[in-house]
Structure 1
């Protein structure tokens, strides 16, 4: 099953939601109109097309890749960068009372349909809401252990009724016992929705470590390397670095931010870090080549090695490997896919042109 159809609601339900402008489906799917070449949010107030002239996509970047333009009325690219109101309300409630287990009965009492919530979380977080809650509690427990709290305290504070149940769940999640967790650095992750599809951000106390599109083929290998080679214990959660990158990405996609300020931590070889440092120097709205980067490093014959290090960059967009193109000006390989690379370059070029126009 392809990515477009894997987590979409039934076709008839999407048609109904589109015709009734059901805002409960904001962020769940996008409506693309074949006759106009425009894609919209489900709740768009524009005149509704005939159902036979519509196709549905799970992600905004799929609409763009299929040749559709964003609707100027409902601005679906802006909407794709945030969770719908009903999800945001629930996430705020979870943050306020992290120990609550949130049964289906409680969700319904809050006006949240459990099946719809499950579908949204599977699409944007890669797991069900209840699985996310469990791993989030374990992540908080890991943080407590690192801060010197006793295993007994963090187990019961995390909502577990027995130490054995907590130990089993902890070891299953982190592949270590709670007693050994004091030697592992917590790497907290959060999934973000963006105009180009969902991304995952990971950060530890020193800075942002990873920012990738969830469908990047190398993502699993990158996370395993962080766990096994660099000793991280990966868990869902929030910290200041994750909140900062979420805010900065929103500004970047709005064309209002040309440089990221979030602190970075870059585990890797010395040569890879040198290449990544050169990536960070490529100006917003401009491009470079592997050969140029190799020359700046004093290794003009190392274009291929530069390309490999570029491909191992874990910080998409922040370390702008999308600004590296072929010597002939062609769009070379990009881990997030060439349609995304083209979109990012167009976004930056348009923002630069707008700034220059306003300067006159």
Structure 2
């Protein structure tokens, strides 16, 4: 493929994302080239596009795309001899910050994977696992990592805040962990319907009933220091809205746990007296080191015991990139929008 070119999605400034023509990458020492077959559009991709990068000025265009799977087409010197052309893989983007500040992005037909290692960056796929489902390993492992930090157990009563793609992945992984007492909250009925299909026990539109009232009704309630609390053990914040976090802290019980998986775009004010008085544990989770969870998510996918089809709302060819972004921005009609790469680059 020497001298060949392809299109790569890169951000040039706020609201300015382009398909740039670049050279098809070649594998150097310790590297593999993967032909991308499927790449999900993440909410962080949309945020990076809107703000023009990762929060600071761009020194050069920023490649995007980090939820992907495909096929190895070549490997450089020094690579594990199991990494051979034709190997079907899902890729953990963490080590090289693929699509998240690093020099590579997976919204392209080919991508260079540095530090190419089985079980670290490259995870072989079972023959029956299709690429779109394999690409879900990234967002599923994001949710699972946040739960592992809080040691979520099957008996826990859990509330998921937000039924966007990560919130939906949280429901799927909670069911994987054996949880059955799962409530989820959003303002979009279509997303709540998807959450029910994935196994949420209670799905509430907060425009119709408050989070506090619904949790007290569903998980039970009590009183501590003259204040009502819900019997919810764990809260998974996948929405990133200050008012929602404030309500959670106000209704949280003694020793409740909160995982912050959501992307907060500005500082949030919280009631630290409540956090102290109720010994509430708040844990941030960026999923920057989740190799075990990535592998576990793929094993869950391959096991086929859960129907993950509600997670993917749309599959569009990379040639429809602009349309795919517009759909992904529409919370009413979309969940996970998956780009597919069925045509070779010109």
Of the two structures, which has the highest relative contact order with CA contacts closer than 8 Å and spacing of 6 or more? 2
Task: Give the TM-score normalised by the residue count of structure 1.
Answer: 0.28
Higher percent of residues as strand: 2
> Greater CA radius of gyration, 1 or 2?
1
Higher percent of residues as helix: 1
Task: Give the TM-score normalised by the residue count of structure 2.
Answer: 0.29
